[in-house]
Each structure stands twice: as C-alpha cells, then as structure tokens.
Structure 1
C-alpha cells in the first residue's frame, strides 16, 4: 500500500476532518483512536468500520438512551496500581468507579439490542463482564467518592469518637469564649474559628495575657490574636490523634481495594479499550450526522458511481454563510477510468477534484461520506495526489520541476489498483511544451490501467480524452447568458475556458480580444465557439425541461382534480336519479290509487253523467298538477339594423352570434368593441350597426342583461374545435367565432382538430389564424396527442 506524498492528509484537508471528529469525542480514550485513523486497502476491515459507524448513526438518530458521559481514561491509574504496595486515592477510585458504571451501561445496552446493532454487539467480545470490582468499590465508597463510615468497624469507631470529641471541644470552647466576651476581652463581631486545623477563639491583643493558652495566629492589623485556651489543648490533641487514625484506616482500606483492583488490570485494559472504541465510533457517527454522511455500496470490481457528492468542509463553511452547496455526480468504471475535467477558472474544477479525493480517502479510512446511500465505491491500494505549489527551496526545485518529480513517481508506480488526482495538469512552464509533456504522461497513466481525475485548460488533453479508450472528458457547467459558473459537473463533453467571454465581461477592449483570437487561431476559436454553443443550448433545453416538468405536474394535478370532480358528479348523479326514481314510484302509486278510486266511485254512482264528469275533472286536475313546469321563453325583440358607416360610440351587433356591443375605436378594418366589462377586437365586416332606440327597448325587455352571458358561455365553451369533415367555406365562420369567444372568455390556449390527410384543412386553418389579431402564435400538438393533425393556438392577453 502506497500513499504519495507524505503530507497527503494535509493537502486534501483530512487533518481538519480528524479535528472535527476529535471535537465529538468525550474523552482522551476516543481522541487516541482518532489519531490512529489510517488509510486501508482491506475491504473487509473497511466494511466492518462502516457498518459499526452506520449502526451508531442509526442509534443516535433513534433517540434511544445510551451512556453519554464518564468515558474516563483510567489507564494512568492502572499503571499506578500495577506497583505492589501503592494505593489509589479516593478521587482516583471515584473516577474508576464512574468509568466502570459507564462500561456496565454500554454492555447492558448492547446485550439488550443485539438484533438492532449486531456489529456493535460483536465488540463486547473484548469485555470480561465481571462486576466484582465495582461492587467492592461501592461497598466502601459513597456516590460522592468518599469512604463510607461503615467501610470497616475500626473506621466507624474512630469517626464516632471524633464526632464526640469535636462536640465536647465546641461546648468547652464556647463556654470560655462567652466568658471572655462578657469581660470585653474579644472583638465585638468575633466568632470561634479554625487555625492550623485546631479550633481557636479571637482575643484582643492587649488582653492576650489574661487568658492562658497557645497563640496560633494574629490578624493583619495585629489587633487580634487567635488563641487556643489551655482548657481545650488536650481535647484538640485528642482530635488530632483521631484524624491521624482515620487517615491511616482509610489508607489501609484503599490499599486493600487497590490490591483487589490489581488482579483485574488486564481485563480493565481491554474493557476500557472497548470503551474508547465506543467513544470513537460515536464521534464518527456524530460527525456523519453533521455532514449528512451515508454508507455507500462497496463493490469488489473497480467502479465509482457517486450521486450528490459534497465536500464536507466546504458545505459546513457555506452553511455558516447561509449559502447552498451544489453537489456533484461522478461516475468512473473500467471503460472510463480517467476523468479529464476542463472549464473556466473559478468554475469548480479543483473543488470537484478535491471533493472526490477527500471522500475516497475518508471512505478507505472507514468514515461515512456525504453521498446518496445508493452510491457505489471501490477500494484502491495506492493513492497519489499532485495538488498545489510544491516548490522545494532546499533542493532548488521549481514548481514545475516538483510537478514533474511527482509525475515520474506516478508513471513508475501506478497500476490497476491505483487512484490518482492531478490538479492543473501540465501548468508551470511554457504552454506548448507543458501541454505536450502532459499529454505523454496522461497516455502513460492510461496504459497503466489506473483510475484518476485531472483538471486542465489544455485543448490537446481534451482532444486526447475524447478519442482515447479509458479517458473521458468532463466539463464544469457555465451560465453562458450571465457568464457565471454553475458548479455542476457534466461527464461526457469537454468544457470551454470562456476566456474571451470573461475578458469581455470584465471590460477588456474588443481590439485586444480580436488580437488574442488571431493569435490563438481560427480552429481553436471555432472549437471554443462550438463548446459555447453547446453549453448555451444545454442551458436552454434544461430550462425547457424544468418548465415542461412544472406543466406536467400542474396537468397531473388538474387530472386528479378532474377525476375527483367526476367521481363526485357521478355519485351526485346516481343520488339524483335514485331520488327521482323514488319520487316517480311514489307519484305512480298515488296516481294509480287516484285512478282506482275514480273507477270505484264511477261504479258506485252507476255511471251517473254528472258524477262521472266531476270525477274526470278531478282526474284532469291531478294530471295537470304532476306535469313538469315549462320553461318560460324570453321574448327577444327584433333589433333594427340601420345603414351607414360604423363609428366610435355606435351600437353594433355581431352577425354570427347576435351579441350586442358598443364600438370604442376604429383602426382601419378592425373595430375595438365593448361587451359589458369585456373588450375585444373584431373585423368591421362582422358587425352591423343597430338603432340605439331599439337597443334601449331590448334592454328593457331583458332586465339587467349585458347582452353576453359570460358565465353561461364559460360553462358551455370547449377549448377544442373539430373541423374534420367540414368544407372550406364552412371553416371561416366556425374558426372566427371559436377564436373570438375564446379570447373574450380569457382563454390562453386552444386546440383546433383538422386531421392530417392531405393537409388542406390544416393549411386553410393556419392561413386564417395568421390574419387574426387575437392570435399570438400556433404550433403542432405533441406527437402523442395528435401531432400535425392538431394545431395548438396561443391567444394574446386581453
């Protein structure tokens, strides 16, 4: 396994990834493992590391309770306890106890969740779950880390005696202090205190010889001394002896406890190695959640197929600036092993290369990477990189010489198990020679069967990639219209540097740009123009695709709404029909009863003429009452047509549908008319002037009517006009009326169905549409919906 150069991790910023993982560790147990992260070519090890981290990521995401504190490094205490005759202090045993409690919590959790987290459960193999030591510590120490009073009978007796002597001391001293205070020998605000571990009382300096005792201290001003009266001297000495006895007993207990611990040192080392490993795996899982990391699919064959790959450090930085990161899609296989990325400066070439390099390195270190879970990764044995300025002052090597030294290393050692990354391939020397050498190196690397990514501006390398098996071009997409990078990688075509376009945008004069084009040569300029055109068309068609997807989404939503509405209407129709049938049955039964009663009464009256006549009248009256109501037809008065030229302000009627309107303006052979609140433009030949008097009469005959029922028309209007089977002379009025009504109703798109045939109806239809002022344009329908047999008509805005 070879990694080149030695400072590779710093070059791809993997050292910063380590620092972020360290921040997620809770102790030095975990950070020690972060320092040991290494690049691996063992596919089974990588798979195991990824599985462990993925399981812990799921554990954190689930919100289940898991020990989150006291991952304490007890190894220094174990090293101390290893020496015979030594003992750990109370606070050190308290740390050991906290660590053991956390260890027990982890063990219990994984034992109860073996099925959910099998790979983490396997780690329990390094833990000997013997809890004798923690029980021994808990038997003699309390939760605050202090030795319990009942740890031993001797300690219990000593502490009880100590409490007794301290109480006796306080009583005697308080009696002496009260007497001295009453005699004015002490300061007014004074109280009994401790000096040198002994209980003393404050006395004014001028009265110190009035009290027998031992002076331990004096105040800063020298006006007060702190005295131990002779009466309590023996009691204080007794307390001091008891304190020493307590200390010796505690030391004896800690020594015995340390002896117990000493036998568990090998097991404890393995157990706390497990605890450190858990802290480390959790830190990796936390980092994965932070960057959106996932476990990719691992393939044994050499294939790299990433979806929505993101540079984790760049994404975290942009998040702080509240800016989005554009992900990339990368695909390499045995047919397209080496990706040659080209494009404008600051277009994202180097970022793309560093993203792939960093994520591949992270993956082979067992870290989850920010790609889609369906992405595919493979393992390489060798990892080479050539990024940045490697000028070596000690060896007097220039930047270009340093690059050539790297290329020498690459070409000598690269093989089918190698992945390499070269940024700004061939730069650093005269372009003509640099490009030629770079081409030769690229051919050699391609022969080796290695995988890799290179970035370049050289046209000869783009051409080599387009015609060589194993190489593939990639372009960083560019917004040609706004001259801004899109930071999207497109594999399969080379990218332009857009040098002339960027120079023009910056403000370089046209003379300079023309001179530069002449120096470059017509062939190269035309080549860049072609790339520019391809990029422009790509952007245009992608925009159209987005718009079509939006329209398809709206259409599918409308179809769903239509289906729901149709279902409601069908249900309602069934309900109405059922209700009508029930009413009809009831009515029929009632009528039959009426007829039967009439017949019976006629028989009872023995066919008396007068009675029969009355019964027939009653039957006719019933018949009339069950007849459906007839609609009242509105009487439409004839509107008088008058001769003369149509002028603004005149009232007119449309000849083909009888709609009444008022002329607003005249423009050549077209009139702008007002129909209620609607305005429209029609040919004058379609209008006839009418009498204003007759119009008033008609308005009175039809109360509050505008002459145009918009709601009714909207309900009855169809956006499809079928002209199939019509003769040529029939088309004009049908088409004109169809377009007028659609325009007045505010429609935007109409469909005229004329069929394909010999194209005669289609040509007639489109010739008429060309001369209609309301028509903005027309085109063939989609192939799946009629193609050239249907004309889509787009109307202008009202």
Structure 2
C-alpha cells in the first residue's frame, strides 16, 4: 500500500532531486533507501539532524566530504584474505583522511558555540580515525596508486638494479642502431619492445648477423624483431629484477591489506557514519535549494501549512496555498471545476507530509505545523497525472476497498474525484457513504469531487469543512488558490458565455436546473464576492498598518537624531566651559606664583604690579566659580533662590550670563543666554550683583593694616562664605600672617565642613585645628600658614 502511495504522490521524483545533493556514493545509497517514518520521536530526530545541517551550511557554506568513497567492498575482500591493489588502498587512506577532516570540522563548530549541533556531535563523537593505517598506506603508495621506492629497502634496491640494467641495454642497442655497419640491415633505426624484451627490427636476410632470439615478425615477414645475443643476458637479468619487484610490491600490498583487515570493523562503522552525515547535508542542501523550512511536528491531528508549494512544480508556476486541519475539523471536501488545481492541492498535502516524515524540510513558511501519521493512503485520479493513463471505476473501487481495510484514526486519506466514473446519482451516494466510513474511524480526510451533493455534506456534519479552488472566469484560467469554507462552482454557464455560446442556449440550460441548485449557486457566488471584498479590505488594512509603522519608525529616528544633536550641543558647551575653567586655574596658579615672588622681593615691587596681579587673580577665580560650585556635595548646596523676569543671572553649568524671561512650573525658569532660550532649574542659576554691591579691590599696600587675623563667617550664605574665605586667605598670605582664625560657628556644621574642605585643598596651609577652650571651641578653626 505504501509503495503505491509513494508512486502516486511522486515521492521518487523528490528523491531524485535529493540525490543530486549527495557528495559521495555513500550518501547516494542512503537517499535511494529513504522511506517515510511514522514514529513522532524518530521524525523529530530526523528533522533535528536536517536542521543542524542547514545551520552548519548557513554558517560555513559547505561540509568537507572530499576524498570519501565507498570502501566496504575492499574491506570485505581484505577480511577474507584478499590482496588489495594500490588504488583500493589509496581510496581507504583518503577515506580515513576524509573521516578525520569531517570530525574536526564538526567539533570545531561545536566548540565555537555559534550554533548548537548536538545530533551531529553525537555522530562524530565516537569516531577515532585510523591514522596509523593512513600513514602506512601514504608512505608506501602515492596519490596516483604507484607503490613508492621508499616502501621498503628491498624494493628500493631492486628498482635501482632495474634502472641500471635498462640503461645498459638501451646503450648497447642505441650503439647498434647508430652503427653505419648495421643500418642497412635494419628496417628502422629504432629500439622497441616485444614480450617485455628490448629488440631491434632486422631485415629477414640479415637474421644470422645478429644471432640472439626472434620475438616477433612483421605481417609481411620481411622484418624480424630480434633480441641481439649481446643483450640477452642483460635482458634476462632485467626480467629477473622485475620479477623480484613484482614479488616485493605484492608483499607490501599484502601487508597493507592485512593491516586494513585488522581495522575493517572500525572502518565499517566509520563508513556508516560518513554515509549518515552525507545524507544529512544532502537534505540540508536540498532544503536550501527550494527555500524550505523545518515544520512543527505533532501527533494530535493538527495540520497548518502556510504558503505551501508543490516541490516538483517551479515556484514561478505555482500559487502557494494555505491548508489547515485539526481542532475544529479533520475532513475537507474540495469542489470546483476541472483543471482548477484540486489534484495539485491534494498532491501537495500528501507529498509534503511524506517529505516531512522522511526528515526533509518542506517548502512552507516558518512555523507551519504538520501531523505525523502512521499511514498515508491515496486514491488519486490518474487522468490528471503526467505519466499515468486513464483509470476505470473498478480500479478506483479496488483501491478504495484496500484503503477501508487498513484505515484508522492515525491515517491520512486522500481521495481525488471520489465516486467518479459511474452514474452521478449513484456516484454521489457512494461517495458520501465512503466518506462517512473513513470519517467515523477518525482518519484525517481530504477529498475532491464534482458532485454538488457533497457541497452540503460539510454543512450537515460537524468536523467537515468545505473548500474550493478559485477560478478566474474573465481569463478562463485557475488561480490555484485554495479557499477554505467556500464550496466551489462549476462555472459552466459563465465559461460557455465567455467562449461565445449563444445566450438563448444558456438561458434554456439554466431552466433545466432546479431552483435549489440556482439558490446554492447564488449563495456561493455571494460568498465569493464577500470573501474577495474582505480580502481587499484586509490587504488595505495591512498596507495602512505598514505605512503607519514606517512613519512611526521615521519619526522615532528623527527624535533620536534630535536627542543626539541636543546631547552634542550640551557636550560641546560643557567642554568649552571646562576648557575655560582649566585655563582660569592655570592663570590663577601663575598669578599666585607671581604674588609669592613679589612677596619674597617686596622691597622692589611696584604698587601697580600688585594691583594688576590681584585683579587678574579675581577674574580667574570668578571663572572658576561655576565648576567649583558644581563640585560641592549636595549637603552644602545653597537653597534655590527665586528670580524675577528681567533679572540678570549667571548660568552655572555654562558659565555664561543671561536674564530671566519668565518663571515656569516648580523651580524652573525660562532663561535667555545670547540668542538661545533654555528651561533651567533655579539651582543652576546665580544672581549677578549690581555694580554698587561689588566689593572694592583690596589695597595690597595696606593689607597688613586692614586685614585682621581672624575672619567671621557667621550668618553668611555658604557660597558667599566660601568666596570671602578664599579672598581672606589671599590677603592673609600677602600680609605675611603665620596663623589666622576662621569663625564659622557651630550651627548645622555646614560652614565648618566647607571651611575644612577648603583648608585640605589649599597648598599654602601647613595645618589646622579646632579652637581651644578660650578660642571659641568647635565654632572656630585655627589655621597655620606656610
């Protein structure tokens, strides 16, 4: 039964295509023996192997099977004591080498961890190539099958003798043929070979001049091929040497054959594994050639083939179809006109099922699902087969009877033109009875028919679905699309009208059709119209969805670009601000060094020099203010101030001045800096004091009189206190004080911590301590200057 189904569904043609992808005769033999499996676990294993092979090809592009041949016949001869020839032995060595290469190839991929290949790894895991036998053979025989001189010392010596004797014989004969005394006696001035002996062609009448042995003569008898007496002994020695060579070569080949026989059991196993691997990669390459995918397998009756294509029909000539069976129904009745594609649909479903159960990937979209059946039966009308002739009703019934005797709930049954070939009324009734018998046994059934009675069959029985193949009346051509849920129409009247049949004849023909049939046809036509409208709306919705997704993607890209531009602007501003701060720091350090130098030679310093240096120092310190403030830790940050529109402020993060435009929600303000307007938090703003509030530059000349030895910071805001502290230390250093006191009070401790942090980072402060009992205690810090 299975063999007939394989032939009807043309599974052998699929195997023929698969054979073209085998890399060796080993894989070819496995393909020839390929038949579908029916156990779910076994089919999953086969599909897993094919999937791993496909992944390897996708990653590496090939698998190294070069040099591998079927050596099993040679192994068998070696086991029974036969001597293998050099060509057989070199094939064995090449196959061992190929085994080593394919094992290394798969192990390398497994170690890369780019893809998981557990099945392939298991196949090569126990392979241990017979490297010693390979090396022995390769050391004795070259790639052309010639036994090398180095195979043994004896062979080397014998071949040296052969070359010596051969050279001496040729020298003597060349002397004869070149001699002017002998040239007239020779038919030709050449040396040739007869019976593996060197001879010269001598004219018949000069036979007695040369003596020796006659080995041959020409057809006319005018020329004798004579081995001159002068070289008979040398030819004898050459023949003996060649006999020794043959014996030594045979000894070497026998020895290698015995080594092969000793490893034959292991080599048999390796060959079987190589054949299996070649078969796996052949399946993978075949799947790639037809853009196939791995189906999801089950044994619960579910079938969901998406965009399925018949593998034997060129992809440009076939319309992909969707076939679904399973949960709600496990029988489909396909109706429609002849040449509409019903049989192609039936064969597509059956052949893809056979392929999947053989471990082959199938030409469907990803995530297609297929059931693994224990048996597949088919009665397909041969009238639409490319290679078969017409069938009779009796042959169909004989086949159907055989199916009914074997079918069960694990079977897939395919009926093409069920009940055809007999009276329509009886054929329809018989078809319904056959479908009931198969359906009641739980089998999955797909049947095609012309009978209109079967269109109602699906509506009357739960679990049965109507379907049809679409036909374009305008072009009079089938579209090969399978329409689920819609029964088919014969379209005979429309086709006849399109072809030019008289309208009156068509009208009379319609009058012979029952009103029920006309109503059914109108209902089907309405269903087809509604379906086409629904498909159009679905395609339009899909197009709009794709358009919206593209626009969303474009907007997201633009938003990302804006964010990147914003970040670049902010980074550039920060870099510029940091650069300005770094320059200000360097300038401040230079000025301080100058001031120290002025102090060391104060008797020669002009007053305007000190004033200029102090002014430059103030500007440098002012440039440092934003970043210095920014680096303060959170506990010491000032409380956010409030600002009024028009008020001038400095933006701390940029070190630039601007003015308040308006107050926003929370503690944010809209600030204009140059031509830019920005939303900034109040914590990033600093009030710019009016001119009258700025403190006069300290007169350094009188610094020692105006600068006190203590600084009272109590009641000051943190930022102002740090500014005063910085200016005070500059003045104290200029005044030459060795010790000063900073009064910061006890309070929250924020001022004290700020003073101590400042002292730690000042290079001219030698030491510090809290005040003693009579000095103000922890509310005062006493500082010793360098």
C-alpha distance in 2 between matches for 1:406 and 1:166: 77
Larger Rg: 2
C-alpha distance in 2 between matches for 1:187 and 1:230: 18
Counterpart selection for 2:526 from 521, 525, 533: 533
Deviation at 1:555, TM superposition (A): 6.8
Which residue of 2 is the match for residue 286 of structure 1?
285
Deviation at 1:449, TM superposition (A): 1.5
C-alpha distance in 1 between matches for 2:370 and 2:86: 52
Does the aligned pair in 2 maintain the 1:123–1:274 contact within 8 Å? yes
SS of structure 2 residue aligned to 1:101 = helix
Counterpart selection for 1:89 from 78, 85, 88: 85
Which residue of 2 is the match for residue 100 of structure 1?
96
Counterpart selection for 2:419 from 426, 431, 438: 426
SS of structure 1 residue aligned to 2:512 = helix
Deviation at 1:455, TM superposition (A): 0.7
C-alpha distance in 1 between matches for 2:507 and 2:676: 91
Which residue of 2 is the match for residue 179 of structure 1?
179
Asked whether 1:499 is paired with 2:492, we answer yes
Does the aligned pair in 1 maintain the 2:465–2:484 contact within 8 Å? yes
C-alpha distance in 2 between matches for 1:83 and 1:566: 80
Does the aligned pair in 2 maintain the 1:126–1:270 contact within 8 Å? no
C-alpha distance in 2 between matches for 1:56 and 1:564: 39
Cα 1:583–1:302 shift into 2, 3 Å: closer
Deviation at 1:399, TM superposition (A): 2.3
Cα 1:133–1:332 shift into 2, 3 Å: same
Which residue of 1 is the match for residue 344 of structure 2?
351
Which residue of 2 is the match for residue 20 of structure 1?
17
Deviation at 1:446, TM superposition (A): 2.2
C-alpha distance in 2 between matches for 1:241 and 1:584: 109
Alignment of 1:201-280 (within 5 A): 201-205=200-204, 207-219=206-218, 224-280=223-279
* CA deviation string 1:428-457 (max 9, x = no partner): 111111111211222232222211211112
Which residue of 2 is the match for residue 674 of structure 1?
none
Which residue of 2 is the match for residue 519 of structure 1?
512
Deviation at 1:153, TM superposition (A): 1.5
Which residue of 2 is the match for residue 775 of structure 1?
none
Bigger mean CA offset, 64-73 vs 483-492: 64-73
C-alpha distance in 2 between matches for 1:548 and 1:412: 50
Deviation at 1:209, TM superposition (A): 4.3
SS of structure 2 residue aligned to 1:170 = helix
Does the aligned pair in 2 maintain the 1:389–1:399 contact within 8 Å? no
Asked whether 1:68 is paired with 2:61, we answer no
Which residue of 1 is the match for residue 146 of structure 2?
146
* CA deviation string 1:378-414 (max 9, x = no partner): 2111211111259xxxxxx982233333333444443
Deviation at 1:543, TM superposition (A): 4.1
C-alpha distance in 2 between matches for 1:474 and 1:78: 58
Deviation at 1:242, TM superposition (A): 0.4
C-alpha distance in 1 between matches for 2:88 and 2:39: 40
C-alpha distance in 2 between matches for 1:413 and 1:348: 28
Cα 1:14–1:584 shift into 2, 3 Å: closer
Does the aligned pair in 1 maintain the 2:10–2:351 contact within 8 Å? yes
Which residue of 1 is the match for residue 464 of structure 2?
471
Alignment of 1:274-423 (within 5 A): 274-315=273-314, 323-389=316-382, 399-423=392-416
C-alpha distance in 1 between matches for 2:558 and 2:104: 58
Deviation at 1:505, TM superposition (A): 1.9
Deviation at 1:477, TM superposition (A): 2.0
Give ranges in structure 1 of 5+ residues lacking alignment: 391-396, 586-798
* CA deviation string 1:578-606 (max 9, x = no partner): 9x974799xxxxxxxxxxxxxxxxxxxxx
Deviation at 1:353, TM superposition (A): 0.6
* CA deviation string 1:314-338 (max 9, x = no partner): 13xxx6xxx3421111111132100
Deviation at 1:496, TM superposition (A): 1.4
SS of structure 2 residue aligned to 1:113 = helix
C-alpha distance in 2 between matches for 1:584 and 1:263: 90
C-alpha distance in 2 between matches for 1:466 and 1:329: 21
Does the aligned pair in 2 maintain the 1:307–1:330 contact within 8 Å? yes
Alignment of 1:695-774 (within 5 A): none
C-alpha distance in 2 between matches for 1:196 and 1:79: 35
Cα 1:485–1:389 shift into 2, 3 Å: closer
Bigger mean CA offset, 349-358 vs 214-223: 214-223
Which residue of 1 is the match for residue 449 of structure 2?
456
* CA deviation string 1:348-403 (max 9, x = no partner): 1110010000111111122211112311122111211111259xxxxxx9822333
TM-score by length of 1: 0.66
* CA deviation string 1:197-242 (max 9, x = no partner): 2222344555454433333344566665433222111111111110
Deviation at 1:75, TM superposition (A): 1.3
Does the aligned pair in 1 maintain the 2:381–2:391 contact within 8 Å? no
C-alpha distance in 2 between matches for 1:552 and 1:424: 42
Deviation at 1:306, TM superposition (A): 1.1
SS of structure 1 residue aligned to 2:427 = helix
Alignment of 1:601-612 (within 5 A): none
Which residue of 2 is the match for residue 198 of structure 1?
197
Q: How many residues align?
A: 568
C-alpha distance in 2 between matches for 1:109 and 1:558: 47
Does the aligned pair in 1 maintain the 2:63–2:281 contact within 8 Å? no
Asked whether 1:45 is paired with 2:38, we answer no
Does the aligned pair in 2 maintain the 1:480–1:532 contact within 8 Å? no
Does the aligned pair in 1 maintain the 2:9–2:351 contact within 8 Å? yes
Cα 1:65–1:462 shift into 2, 3 Å: closer
Deviation at 1:304, TM superposition (A): 0.8
SS of structure 1 residue aligned to 2:166 = helix
Does the aligned pair in 2 maintain the 1:293–1:369 contact within 8 Å? yes
Deviation at 1:507, TM superposition (A): 2.8
Cα 1:567–1:74 shift into 2, 3 Å: closer
Cα 1:425–1:472 shift into 2, 3 Å: same
Does the aligned pair in 1 maintain the 2:379–2:416 contact within 8 Å? yes
Deviation at 1:339, TM superposition (A): 0.9
* CA deviation string 1:496-551 (max 9, x = no partner): 12121112222333333233322221221231133223323433553455456556
C-alpha distance in 2 between matches for 1:555 and 1:584: 35
Cα 1:488–1:248 shift into 2, 3 Å: same
SS of structure 1 residue aligned to 2:84 = coil
C-alpha distance in 1 between matches for 2:489 and 2:219: 84
Which residue of 2 is the match for residue 58 of structure 1?
55
C-alpha distance in 2 between matches for 1:473 and 1:37: 35
Task: Kindly report structure 1 stretches of 4+ aligned residues shifted beyond 6 Å.
Answer: 558-572
Does the aligned pair in 2 maintain the 1:481–1:536 contact within 8 Å? no
SS of structure 1 residue aligned to 2:418 = coil
Does the aligned pair in 2 maintain the 1:446–1:471 contact within 8 Å? no
Counterpart selection for 1:33 from 12, 27, 30: 30
C-alpha distance in 1 between matches for 2:87 and 2:538: 69
Deviation at 1:342, TM superposition (A): 1.2
Deviation at 1:177, TM superposition (A): 1.8
SS of structure 2 residue aligned to 1:336 = coil
Does the aligned pair in 1 maintain the 2:470–2:481 contact within 8 Å? yes
Cα 1:551–1:332 shift into 2, 3 Å: closer
* CA deviation string 1:692-731 (max 9, x = no partner): xxxxxxxxxxxxxxxxxxxxxxxxxxxxxxxxxxxxxxxx
C-alpha distance in 2 between matches for 1:409 and 1:186: 86
Counterpart selection for 1:111 from 104, 107, 113: 107
Asked whether 1:161 is paired with 2:161, we answer yes
Cα 1:566–1:388 shift into 2, 3 Å: closer
Which residue of 2 is the match for residue 646 of structure 1?
none
Give ranges in structure 2 of 5+ residues lacking alignment: 384-389, 570-660, 662-669, 678-786
Deviation at 1:481, TM superposition (A): 4.3
C-alpha distance in 1 between matches for 2:547 and 2:120: 48
C-alpha distance in 2 between matches for 1:60 and 1:583: 61
